[in-house]
Amino acid sequence: MNIRAFALIFFLLSAPEAVHGDRPTMVVSPAPTAVIGEMGSTRIEPPETLMELALRKGVGFQNLAAANPHLDPWLPPAGAIVTLPTATTLPVGIQPGITINLAEYRLYYLWRAKGRHMFRVYPIGIGSEGWNTPEGDFAITAKAERPAWTVPLSIRRERPELPPVVPPGPENPLGEYWLQLSARGYGIHGTNQPLGVGRRVSHGCIRLYPDDIRDLFARVKIGTPVRILYQPIKMARRGNQLLLEVHADHLGQIADPLREVLRQKQLLGWRGPLHYSTLMRVLREARGVPVPLLLED
């Protein structure tokens, strides 16, 4: 693996035993309208699946699978080179506090210090079909270490074998840390099933890798604003480049992807040309990585 270390590296790409350790803080100044991070690569270690590789590298599974559409996620060839989706554009309208983009399975934590924007970014698991994570503006209303899980009646109907309350420990799906949202019944928490990070697997809550929730829990305060949004299409300017990042529209909210691209292009004040065939290819492939729209075919 040959991964360069940059000041704005997005994910910590380290040895397998330390992949979920302290994620670096990114600094974007003076305004957070940029691409952060650099794409990386690694090799499959047999008999690893892409889901297991995502866990080892601390990235989300869906993002990893989308960035490598040529690979069978369950039976990738031994020793195959895998693209790591370790660069991203920031969601449109990101503000200080927590921003969760459901479309890309990522949580952004932004704060300002000495006139600069500071970021940490974490892969997440979100609500499954029928249990969608709510969108909107919320806040952190409580924090708890080693939380007990009071099983909602709706879940006990699905799984009557569950007790009314699951105590802290390895059987508790909330993991070691819980951040309560002002949306009743929803929170940001760890997990006892880390292979679910980067997937639609929860009953609406936001799941983080165990080390990531530990890091986030220590940083946020009660009252921190939380914005949950859905942006499958994101654009950013970097110097004289216009970049487009497209994720699968799993909720079917984007009726006209091309119109959304043109809308964001106008918001960014871009007056340069667009390479149409590249634009349509990026929309079609939805690989979830930033691509310059001035590339030649």
Residues labelled catalytic: 189, 205
As a whole number of angstroms, the distance between CA 257 and CA 240 comes to 23
As a whole number of angstroms, the distance between CA 51 and CA 55 comes to 6
Cβ pair 216, 227 in contact under 8 A: no
79-117 core/surface letters (b: 16 or more CB in 10 A; e: else):
ebebbbbbbbbbbbebeebbbbbbbbbbbbbbeeeeeeb
Strand, helix or coil at 170?
coil
Residue among 210, 254, 262 at smallest CA distance from 231: 254
DSSP H helical ranges for 185-224 = 210-219
